[in-house]
Structure 1
Amino acid sequence: MNILLHPTYFPNIAHFVAMAKAREVTFEMEDNFVKQTYRNRAYIYGANGKLALNIPVVHSQKNRQKYKDVKIFNAENWQSQHWKSLLSAYRTSPFFEFYEDELQPLFTEKAEFILDFNLKCFETICDCLQLDVNIEKTDTFEKEVTDKTDARILVNAKKEIPKNFEHYTQVFGDKHGFIQNLSILDLLFNEGPNALNYLESQNLNLK
């Protein structure tokens, strides 16, 4: 199948399940930026449970701003904070050290636009997963699409569609139980080279 998705910050497992099953992935490049979505948010599993990592953005005075034009607010030292959170959450996971050197530059090199940064994160994760994705990008915005599966709903962090992914071992699972649909980073650090097999074996109902 061909699917249409929003690029997000270290996409969650649902995004990657959809991508692992797709022949072609089209990224939505022409939408407006919406607050409280996965465009600038990812969830990881911290010592106290589900933890949000938010990228601060420069808010425009205009009512609407294109996602691709939104700048990151780099006056906050958010990259260092996110990396420290990842170290705290996953330092003891089986595969953190295996991927650490590939991921760390994302938290030291400054990026200006959030969409560009998200695409860079996505490329890095695909390298880690050894996932070969055929990517296309939109050049106009269409509210309704007919030639591909519209999976843009997955960007909404507030209106989650039900997911029942298979449990895998999580670092703090004995404390808080299994947490569904976290960032792909959680799966990668806990499952390592098996992560891609896991993604391909899961089912996702977009209805």
Structure 2
Amino acid sequence: MSIVLSELHYLPSIPFFQQLLAADSLLLDAHEHYHKQTYRNRCLVLTAQGAQPLTVPVLDGNRSEKIRTSEIEIDYRQNWPHRHFRTLQTAYNASPYFGYYADYLQDIYAQKYVRLWDLNLAMLHLLLRCLRWPLPVEFTTEYLAPAGSSSPTSLFIDRRDVLTPKIAPRSGEPDSTSQLPYPQVFGPGFVPGLSVLDLLFMQGPAAGRWLG
């Protein structure tokens, strides 16, 4: 059985889902410590200005002492849910399937989850349903050290922090994970490494076929 161990991302990227193609289940690290400037609280979407990040503001993310990602709370002092959805609406309203998925996203944003973990998990379950992918999702029961001969992590495919933010990819720029180009709202060049929302909004129920 193939089990992929990963941290939990916000609106995960296409490469995130590609690394799960051969997996029998996804094991999310519920005991890791939070790291700033990662995909734990951000994603990339394609706008008229190119690939742009959407970042969920969090509380305590800058504290010097370590805190579990599963305990990080979201900062609602700014109306980021409205800004994120408006950005998605502006960027993808002309895409074939934005209207098909928009209400589901709005419903999750309206929940105003206290913890980043719960928001990300709700988004992940939604995306798996939209991709028609019944992949089992489980959680670690203790901290797992990086893979090694004497580590229980060796029982899993450890993909933690393999995908990290970088400068927004440009058209034609090679990506760490090979992607089949598909039509995007803004062209003419293909931009890789975006949230899987970009693929869903363009391909709808057929999106899963573009991950392989």
Q: TM-score under structure 2 normalisation?
A: 0.88
Structure 1: gaps spanning 5 or more residues = 202-207
Residue in 1 aligned with 2:172?
A: none
Structure 1 residue 62: deviation in Å?
4.3
- After superposition, residues 62-73 of structure 1 pair within 5 angstroms as 62-73=64-75
In 1: Cα distance, 2:154 partner to 2:48 partner? 43
Structure 1 residue 63: deviation in Å?
1.9
Residue in 2 aligned with 1:193?
A: 205
In 1: Cα distance, 2:9 partner to 2:75 partner? 17
- After superposition, residues 21-40 of structure 1 pair within 5 angstroms as 21-40=22-41
- After superposition, residues 113-132 of structure 1 pair within 5 angstroms as 113-132=115-134
In 1: Cα distance, 2:161 partner to 2:67 partner? 19
In 1: Cα distance, 2:201 partner to 2:13 partner? 13
Residue in 2 aligned with 1:204?
A: none
Q: Secondary structure, in 3 states, of the residue corresponding to 1:153?
A: coil
Structure 1 residue 155: deviation in Å?
4.2
Q: CA RMSD in A?
A: 1.7
Residue in 2 aligned with 1:165?
A: 179
What residue identity is the alignment partner of 1:11?
P
Q: Secondary structure, in 3 states, of the residue corresponding to 1:44?
A: strand
Structure 2: gaps spanning 5 or more residues = 148-152, 170-174
Structure 1 residue 18: deviation in Å?
1.7
CA contact (8 A) 1:95 1:190 kept: yes
In 2: Cα distance, 1:163 partner to 1:126 partner? 19
In 1: Cα distance, 2:100 partner to 2:166 partner? 33
Q: Secondary structure, in 3 states, of the residue corresponding to 1:45?
A: strand
In 1: Cα distance, 2:176 partner to 2:20 partner? 18
Residue in 1 aligned with 2:137?
A: 135
In 2: Cα distance, 1:150 partner to 1:56 partner? 27
Higher fraction of helix: 1
Q: TM-score under structure 1 normalisation?
A: 0.90
Residue in 2 aligned with 1:205?
A: none
Residue in 1 aligned with 2:6?
A: 5
- Could you list the per-position Cα deviations for residues 126-149 of structure 1 after superposition, in whole angstroms to 9, with x for gaps in the alignment? 111111011121011112211111
- Equivalent pairs: percent with the same residue? 31
